[in-house]
Structure 1
Amino acid sequence: MTTHQWMMIDGALNPGALGSLYADNAAIEAIGVLHGTPHKAIAQSGPILARFEDDDPLAVHWRNNAPPARHAWAFDCDLGLYALAAFWYRRLLPTGPMGQTLWLRYADARVMERGQRHHAMPRGFWQGITGVRLAADQPAWSPLPQEPRPAGAARDGDPGPEPFALDARQMAALAAGEASA
Structure 2
Amino acid sequence: MRWWGTGLVALVLLVLGAGLTLLDQALGDGERPLRAGTVLSVGTERGGVRPVAFSVPSAGWALSEEGSSLGNNAKLVRDGVVFNLSVIVPLAPLNARALWDGLGRIVSVHGRVRLRTAPAAITTAQGLRGLTGSLAGRGRIGTASVVADDALGATVTAAGPPGAYRRVAAQVQAMVRTIRISP
Pairwise same-fold verdict (TM > 0.5): no
Give the structure with higher Rg (CA). 2
The structure carrying a bigger strand percent of its residues is 2
Higher RCO by CA contacts (8 Å cutoff, separation 6 or greater): 1
The structure carrying a bigger helix percent of its residues is 2
